[in-house]
């Protein structure tokens, strides 16, 4: 148990060191140098252009939450499990259960494409933005199409049948579509249908007994990456312009505005 805890903490430590080492410099309007933009930053722009501008132009980032080290451990173990089937060319039992005619594929660049702060890269020449995103897994069907696979972990009562309409579920869908776009930019024939391997920790147990038991569900999603390039054009325009107005539905902007107003009111007194 101590060894596993130390491993998880070591992984988080390496991620944070690489984060500060690889973090792009602030964008300078009119710069000729290619600007690296991660998948998560694209999603930040979709959520709130103002938060995106503050992050990329001034490096004023949203407060970060605690690291999801349990999720990282599940991801690591799933990769090991699917890699075992990748090595011997067999089909994972989960794919057999759901009747998915595909297998984990042994692509030469998969290890690079899985790395945080590296991942799949594609230069969008119209904007000179280098788009990046780290995938969890890659399968291939008999038609030769590559399939984007993402691992998700949670703990909810009942069986997970489909994604809901929560904000983070929309982010999951955009994440899948950006990965599909990135792989297509790298010359791969990519299926519109991607999958989430959803791991749901069972809460309906009489005792913990030092272990969590997960139910694995395979959720399919037919994506469309047609929104990606128009969004990149909007991002470039935002990077070159002045700070956007605060978004009325952004909790971070609302908090910042309220706190600033309360501070000013207190100083006036």
Domains and CATH numbers, the chain: 34-264 (3.90.320)
Other Cβ atoms less than 10 A from the Cβ of 149: the count is 21
**What is the distance, to the nearest Å, from the Cα of residue 129 to the centroid of all Cα atoms in its chain?**
18
Q: What is the DSSP code string of 185-213?
A: HTT--B-SEEEEEEEEE----S--TT---
49 near 246, Cβ under 8 Å?
A: no
Check residue 265 and give its pLDDT.
87
Give the pLDDT confidence score for residue 169 in this predicted structure: 87
What pLDDT score does 3 carry?
55
pLDDT at 16: 47
pTM: 0.87
Residue-level pLDDT at 55: 97
Regions of the chain where pLDDT drops below 50: 1, 4, 7-8, 15-16, 19-20
Token pair recorded at residue 123: 């230069």
Residues 6+ apart with CB under 8 A from 46: 174, 231
The span from the CA of 120 to the CA of 115, in Å, is: 9
Edge-to-edge strands, sheet with 137-141: 102-104, 137-141, 146-154, 193-201, 214-222
Residue (of 170, 172, 133, 165) closest to 41 by Cα position: 133
Predicted local distance difference test score (pLDDT) of residue 20? 47
The CB density around residue 61, as the number of other CB atoms within 10 Å, is: 13
- Three-class DSSP category at 221: strand
CA distances from 142 to 104, 145, 146, 176 (A): 12, 7, 10, 21
CB 230, CB 181: distance < 8 Å: no
Three-state secondary-structure class, residue 250 = coil
pLDDT value of position 85: 96
Q: According to the model, what pLDDT value does residue 195 have?
A: 97
Residue 114 burial by Cβ neighbours in a 10 Å radius (0-12, 13-18, 19+): middle
């Amino acid at each position: 148990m101590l060894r596993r805890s130390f491993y998880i903490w070591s992984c988080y430590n390496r991620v944070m060191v690489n984060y500060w080492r690889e973090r792009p410099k602030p964008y300078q309007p009119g710069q000729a140098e290619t600007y690296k933009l991660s998948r998560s930053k694209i999603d930040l722009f979709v959520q709130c252009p103002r938060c995106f501008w503050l992050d990329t132009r001034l490096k004023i980032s949203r407060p970060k939450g605690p690291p999801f080290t349990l999720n990282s451990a599940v991801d690591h173990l799933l990769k090991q499990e699917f890699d075992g089937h990748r090595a011997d060319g067999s089909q994972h039992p989960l794919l057999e259960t759901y009747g998915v005619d595909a297998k984990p594929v042994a692509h030469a660049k998969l290890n690079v494409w899985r790395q945080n702060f590296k991942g799949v890269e594609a230069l969008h020449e119209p904007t000179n933005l280098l788009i990046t995103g780290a995938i969890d897994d890659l399968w291939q069907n008999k038609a030769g199409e590559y399939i984007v696979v993402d691992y998700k972990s949670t703990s909810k009562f009942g069986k997970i049948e489909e994604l809901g309409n929560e904000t983070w579920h929309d982010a999951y869908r955009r994440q899948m579509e950006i990965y599909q776009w990135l792989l297509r930019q790298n010359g791969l024939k990519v299926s519109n249908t991607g999958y989430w391997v959803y791991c749901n920790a069972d809460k309906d147990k009489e005792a913990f007994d030092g272990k969590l038991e997960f139910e694995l569900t395979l959720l399919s999603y037919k994506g469309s990456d047609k929104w990606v390039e128009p969004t990149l054009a909007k991002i470039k325009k935002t990077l070159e312009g002045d700070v956007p107005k605060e978004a009325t539905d952004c909790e971070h902007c609302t908090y910042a505005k309220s706190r600033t107003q309360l501070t000013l009111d207190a100083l006036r007194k």
